[in-house]
């Protein structure tokens, strides 16, 4: 089989978001779509009403940026990078600018990008002072013999690649400084004595999956991780198969939620394997989230793309923000609600 560009015809069997499933509710179902296509997410948790518009706008802008690449004949890889960069620059999300602070008051970022044609991927973990870690992850993939760089090594590699470090302040949004200061001074009952969240915290990791005109698939995920995490903590997002996966033969997925839980079930690879074994994208997304809940009690959501361009969105927390773009006639953005 030609892995580079599988035939698209004859495999269009799951080109929809099902509106009435228990674990996924879509306010406006998509009944059809065409290749190329990009699907992005901007976090999954109990997104407050006051933040819905910002999430929808951010996802919309990202999907449009990614689709602009695809519509000009660009690759799925370039499209997911472009989409994720838009969300890294948007302080609405826990990625790049606007990320959570760790226990030391630093921003430490994780990101991954994966090429489904070759299974090559690049990722960075716990890297500081990098404005767009998804692009650094891309450089790891394109310019090293490694797949993943962490911490200071990733930072030094960025320097070699000519990426100017930003200041920590450039990544720091006032909202997050306030959240951190409140937690540190015990002015909130949201954290236990060790600073661990007691209640559901925002889960605003961003991600994208895309298929291009040639049938090549890619995925990317970027995050500031969890609030008040221990310095050096790495979540699921930059781990291949956990926070992201892409394979022309089985599809792509990107997740958001409690990283320690997603890692345990290797969530994104699980979703792709389920598609390869015959499930539609939506069925695979739901089965993966069901497994997450049953086996780990974890919460979150994920987006899934089948090689045919079928899409799935599932979550077991209240909301997931997403947008899909497959041309002027197929654009949809939503905050899926499980109420």
> Taking the complex as a whole, how short is the minimal distance between the CB of residue 215 and ligand ASP, in angstroms?
29
Judged by beta carbon, residue 203 or residue 288, the one nearer ligand ASP is 203
| Interatomic CA distance for residues 214 and 6, integer angstroms | 8
Using CB under 6 A as the binding rule, whether residue 94 contacts ligand ASP is answered as yes
Sign (positive or negative) of CA dihedral 70, 72, 77, 79: negative
**Shortest approach of ligand ASP to residue 229 CB, angstroms?**
8
Minimum separation from the CB atom of position 79 to ligand ASP (A): 21
Binding of residue 91 to ligand ASP (CB under 6 A): no
Q: Which is nearer to ligand ASP, 187 or 200 (CB)?
A: 200
| Residue with smaller CB distance to ligand ASP, 66 or 257 | 257
* Residue placing its CB nearer to ligand ASP in the complex, 42 or 309: 42
Q: Where are the beta strands (DSSP E) in the chain?
A: 37-45, 109-115, 121-127, 148-150, 206-211, 217-223, 244-247, 251-257, 300-305, 311-315, 319-325, 331-337
State the Cα angle at 317 between 181 and 100, rounded to 5°.
Answer: 25
205 is a catalytic site residue: yes
* Cβ-count burial 91-126 (b if 16+ within 10 Å, e if not): bbbbbbbbbbbbbeeebbbbbbbbbbbeeebbbbbb
Binding-residue pattern over the window 184 to 203 for ligand ASP, x denoting contact by CB under 6 A: -------------------x
Per the CB < 8 A criterion, the answer to whether 155 and 128 are in contact is yes
Sign of CA dihedral 167, 172, 174, 178: negative
Q: Length of the chain in residues, anyone?
A: 339
Min dist CB 102 to ligand ASP, Å, is: 11
Please report whether residue 99 would count as binding ligand ASP according to CB under 6 A. no
Identify which of 19, 32, 22 has the alpha carbon closest to the alpha carbon of residue 310. Answer: 32
319 binds ligand ASP (CB under 6 A): no
Residue 204 in the binding site for ligand ASP (CB under 6 A): yes
Q: What is the footprint of ligand ASP within residues 233-292 (CB under 6 A)?
A: 235-237, 256-257, 259
Rounded to an integer, what distance in angstroms lies between the CA atom of residue 49 and that of residue 51? 5
Residues in the interface with ligand ASP (CB under 6 A) total 13
Q: How far apart are CA 252 and CA 268, in angstroms?
A: 7
Examine residue 223 and tell whether it contacts ligand ASP (CB under 6 A).
yes
Catalytic residue, chosen from 60, 92, 205, 223, is 205
One of 42, 66, 96, 225 touching ligand ASP (CB under 6 A): 225
Contact residues for ligand ASP, defined by CB under 6 A: 94, 203-205, 223, 225-226, 235-237, 256-257, 259
Active site residues: 205
């Amino acid at each position: 089989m030609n892995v580079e560009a599988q035939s698209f015809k004859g495999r269009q069997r799951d080109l929809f978001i099902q509106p009435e499933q228990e674990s996924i509710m879509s306010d406006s179902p998509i009944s059809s779509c065409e290749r190329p296509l990009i699907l992005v997410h901007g976090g999954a948790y109990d997104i407050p009403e006051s933040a819905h518009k910002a999430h929808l706008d951010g996802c919309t802008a990202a999907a449009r940026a990614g689709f602009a690449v695809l519509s000009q004949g660009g690759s799925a890889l370039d499209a997911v990078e472009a989409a994720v960069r838009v969300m890294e620059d948007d302080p609405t999300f826990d990625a790049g600018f606007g990320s959570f602070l760790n226990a030391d008051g630093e921003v430490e970022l994780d990101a991954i990008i994966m090429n489904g044609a070759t299974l090559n991927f690049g990722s960075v973990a716990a890297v500081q002072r990098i404005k767009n870690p998804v692009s650094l992850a891309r450089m790891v993939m394109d310019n090293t013999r490694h797949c993943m760089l962490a911490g200071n090594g990733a930072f030094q590699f960025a320097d070699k690649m000519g990426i100017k470090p930003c200041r920590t302040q450039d990544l720091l949004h006032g909202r997050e400084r306030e959240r951190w200061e409140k937690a540190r001074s015990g002015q909130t009952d949201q954290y236990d004595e060790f600073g661990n969240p007691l209640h559901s915290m925002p889960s605003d990791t961003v991600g994208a999956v895309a298929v291009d005109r040639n049938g090549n698939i890619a995925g990317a995920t970027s995050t500031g991780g969890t609030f008040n995490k221990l310095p050096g903590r790495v979540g699921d997002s930059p781990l291949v198969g956990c926070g992201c996966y892409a394979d022309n033969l089985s599809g792509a997925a990107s997740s958001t939620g409690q990283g320690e839980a997603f890692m345990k079930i290797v969530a994104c690879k699980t979703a792709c394997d389920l598609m390869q074994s015959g499930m539609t994208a939506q069925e695979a997304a739901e089965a993966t989230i069901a497994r997450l809940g049953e086996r780990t009690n974890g919460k979150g959501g994920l987006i899934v793309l089948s090689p045919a361009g079928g899409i799935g969105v599932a979550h077991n927390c209240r909301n997931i923000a997403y947008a899909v773009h497959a041309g002027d006639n197929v654009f949809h953005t939503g905050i899926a609600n499980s109420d």
